[in-house]
A and B are shown apart, each in its own frame.
Chain A
């Protein structure tokens, strides 16, 4: 069956450290992989997209890697800040133009 798995446990890190979130998938052939941030009571907000032929993408303190052989994406937040505390969702877009989301990882950055 198709599955998208993110870190099942909440992630707590100290301010200034690098947070690394994992997204693993099975039985999908994504054209794109996206990362979204979701704050409590709000809709998800797009952060980064990486294509199947790209290995790495950066935006400010954010970095995403995509390994289609391992079927895994890693999402890094460097120099983390308390304001980065939120739930982070990965999403796959298939060639059929449908989006499939993971369950999300809750990140807390401790001052």
Chain B
């Protein structure tokens, strides 16, 4: 969905490196989410934010941090990447009624 963009789309990094994944949206939604997707485990929620001043941990937040720089921008950081953080990462947005989530195209991350 072009309304939700993620950068980079692909990234290879080494163990111990800091990496930031960025998400931008033009839908005007207050709510934004970060998920990771692993084969056989499905999508799992890492962090979510209901507005610029509201950040919440999801199911698997350990090893990750986030920053909500503006309504339209929500970044995910891996302070010290490890191989088991290799996954497909998705950003999503929703409005206050949350009847649907709109997903970005994903970032494929490989940690060596």
Contact = CB atoms under 8 A, between A and B. Distances in A.
Interface string A34-48: 100000011111100
Contact of A43 (B41, B42, B90): B90
Interface residues of B, number: 25
28 contacts: A32-B98, A42-B106, A43-B1, A43-B92, A43-B103, A44-B90, A44-B103, A45-B103, A46-B100, A46-B102, A49-B100, A89-B43, A91-B43, A93-B98, A97-B50, A98-B45, A98-B58, A99-B33, A99-B45, A100-B45, A100-B59, A101-B42, A101-B43, A101-B44, A102-B42, A103-B40, A103-B41, A104-B42
Contacts, number: 52
B74 interface: no
A25 B8 CA distance: 34
Given A41-B106, A43-B1, A104-B42, A99 B100 contact: no
Contact of B48 (A44, A98, A101): A98
Contacts of B35: 101
Contact of B42 (A42, A49, A89): A89
Contacts of A45: 1, 103
Range class of the A interface residue count: 20 to 34
Interface string B92-104: 1000001111111
A108 B64 CA distance: 36
A42 B44 CA distance: 16
Contacts of A34: 100-101
Given A44-B103, A49-B99, 20 more contacts: A4-B42, A32-B98, A32-B99, A41-B106, A42-B105, A42-B106, A43-B1, A43-B4, A43-B103, A43-B104, A43-B105, A45-B103, A89-B43, A91-B101, A99-B45, A99-B101, A101-B43, A102-B42, A103-B42, A104-B42
